[in-house]
Amino acid sequence: MTYNGSESRAKTDIARKTEEDDQLRISLNPLKTGAVVLIAATLIAVFLNFLPVISFRPLAAPRFLTQSRAALLQWQSSKAEEPVEETPKVIYFQARPSAEPTPPPAITGFRLSAYGRELGPDGFTTYVEDKPVVLTLEIIPFMSHPPVEWIVSDEEAASLTVSNDKKSCEFAALKSAGKIDLTVRCNEAEIVMPVYLWSNEA
């Protein structure tokens, strides 16, 4: 009987201790909740007190990145403003070897005619009132447009009207001047003959 009493007392002690622990835990729950609320309130108060000091600013880019970006923008704008110059295309042509200039053919015959006959060293005579004298030049060998020069020594006394092929010329007396010279020249050939200019008026 003694054994049973001790066991019953032990169970009663354990039950009482368990009940006390439960009551203690229940009594501590409001304290824990209050402590948590107190800590949270303290943190919020501290945050609100230091809020004017704390400023949230975006992180600035490093200076070298800003300078590089500005330089890149400036370079792009300058490239956009500058017109793109096209490289001129150079085409090379191989030069042909220059040929030696062909010398003019040697003149073997050089005669001046008027009134249907060849003129001699005495020349011819014409008057101011007469029609112009038609002079014809014959060149051997034949040339279609020879470089012929017709020249008078006194341009106020006579006029010359040369044809397109320069092989004929109209000689007109402008005033009575007596003897003047008519020169006909082509390459190395030349004729110089006298022409007498008179007037029929007294």
Q: What is the pLDDT of residues 88-131, one digit of tens each?
A: 777 766 767 666 777 777 888 899 999 999 999 999 999 999 99
Judged against a pLDDT cut of 50, whether residue 196 lies above it is answered with yes
Judged against a pLDDT cut of 50, whether residue 2 lies above it is answered with no
Judged against a pLDDT cut of 90, whether residue 180 lies above it is answered with yes
Euclidean distance between the first and final Cα of the chain, in Å? 204
CATH architecture of the domain 109-198 equals Sandwich (2.60)
pLDDT (average), residues 162-171: 95
Q: What pLDDT score was predicted for residue 104?
A: 74
By DSSP bridging, strand 178-186 and strand 148-152 are antiparallel
Q: Which range, 81-85, 103-107, 183-187, is most confident?
A: 183-187
Give the side-chain half-sphere CA count within 13 A for 44.
6
More confident site: 95 or 143: 143
Judged against a pLDDT cut of 90, whether residue 164 lies above it is answered with yes
pLDDT (average), residues 76-93: 65
Q: What pLDDT score was predicted for residue 3?
A: 46
Tell me the β-bridge partners of 160: 171
Judged against a pLDDT cut of 90, whether residue 55 lies above it is answered with no
- CB contact set of 195 (below 8 Å; sequence gap of 6+): 123, 124, 125, 126, 152, 158, 171, 179, 180, 181, 182
pLDDT (average), residues 176-199: 94
Predicted TM-score of the model (pTM): 0.49
User: What percent of the chain has pLDDT above 70?
Assistant: 63
Structure tokens at 142: 């034949």
More confident site: 47 or 121: 121
CA dist., res. 157 & res. 175, Å (int): 5
pLDDT (average), residues 23-43: 73
CA dist., res. 36 & res. 34, Å (int): 5
More confident site: 32 or 171: 171
